[in-house]
Structure 1
Amino acid sequence: MDANIYQHFRSDEHSFIDLVGDWLEQVSFQYAPYLTEFLDPRQAYILETLVRQETDLKFRFFGGYGTAERVRCMIYPEYYEPEQEEFEIVLFEINYPKKFTTLSHGKILGTLIGSGMKREMFGDIISDGENWQVFVAKEVASYLQMQVNKIGSVTVRLDLKNYTEILTPKDGWSQEKTTVSSLRLDTVIATIFNISRQRSKQLIESGKIKINWIETQRPDFMLDLLDIVSIRGFGRLQIQEIEGKTKKEKIRLALGVLRK
């Protein structure tokens, strides 16, 4: 991997860059495809950038359905043409007593991680408002099906579903544009959710913020393209485009915002 590539990314992303470099080297030397685990949007962006800049290899993303947030990537030589089945993604629907209780994304996510699974082993968790489904790497599907029989105090069962039975997600994301004085985490949160910088800082330092599913307590964290920020009690936002600066040197942003 060209050492100059590091300067284009954050220091905490260097280990992932090295990992992608290993994948690319493996495909080049073995002349055979390589399938990644589930990647978040920022990781997918980094991988795509490196493949395009560093090699003549090809790649394809798939997360189980067309607009998936978390995806697996197939990296492959020019001669190869992957099929959808080769992404090895299994779809489970969560069977639970809907008349008596409700589930939430956070409770489901916590249960899956609590079962001993790495976050990279499962993709999107989707809902139509009542029913819930989760996309899982095939290599751990049987283990997960045996392990998960409760979410909190609710008895559940994971039922295998075909791709023709994928729910239509009830998606509250809205497309918004704004300007910010800085890409600092506390500044962006304060601007998008119309709260004070001090309140934003308090949320971050109290552990209520995750960036790409990882908790951070740094108000000065600098956001970048395709980062997803989860704010407990407020919702989520994603930096979809950085569109340059205004005459007053403010940064123009295009965002996806999910408000609670």
Structure 2
Amino acid sequence: MTYTGRAILPHFGAFRPDQITTQDCREYLRQRIADGRKIGSVHTELGHLRSAMRWAAKQHIIDRAPHIELPPKPDSDVRPLSDAQVRALIDGCSAPHIRLAVILLLATGARVSAILDLEWNRVDFERGVIDLRLPDGITRKGRAVVPMNRMARAALETAYQARLTDHVVEWAGKRVRSIRKGYSAALERAGLSDISIHQIRHSVAVRMLAAGQPIEKVSQFLGHSNTAITYKTYARFMPDHMADAAEILNFDVPRKTRL
């Protein structure tokens, strides 16, 4: 929300909530697109503004929430990384904390915020699990309790020996708030471009589905609230589950009749 505020406040900050109109939302969309932002990003920004207004009305801070018009949400831009790209990305991470973060993203399918929020008290080496959920009981989006695979365990054990803070991903004895610069530098060293950090999460989901994992299990691993979200985003990467239906449509072969 803090990051979103940097975009929202210059346009809406001077308004009272009751002054915000649909035209203001459309003008905001036009300006952000002109600035080079993708429509999906603008959808998220205006969605956060809508959530904030509805929360304020619910808390009786304002009389009512204004209507915040959202642009149509585009289909998810799912472009999974190949195995070669993943290996190049890991090799391109020169800073230990960037390498650790990328490995954990690949091993858990988590959002980057969940990895940067992760503390050692939610890493259970004995049971071999990583609890990505925050203990506040509120922050749950896309966060799950996942098994610790071999790759993650090796990276975590090394980091644990050198820890200086409660947070798993740290640098110079301080918590890391963003890995944008480090991730961009890793992409450059790897010779990769136009790969957002969220594509790692997509790559995890597609790899599991391609290996035959049930979509229900993948949905739970990603922390989706229901499998409908997983189906909508990733169903096109699992065509095998419709193969039997396609076979029925072989009209060039006479159907067997039952005697």
Class of the TM-score when normalised by the shorter of the 2 chains: under 0.3
Q: Which has the higher contact order (CA 8 A, sep 6+)?
A: 2
Larger Rg: 2
Task: Tell me which protein shows more strand as a share of its residues.
Answer: 1
Task: Tell me which protein shows more helix as a share of its residues.
Answer: 2
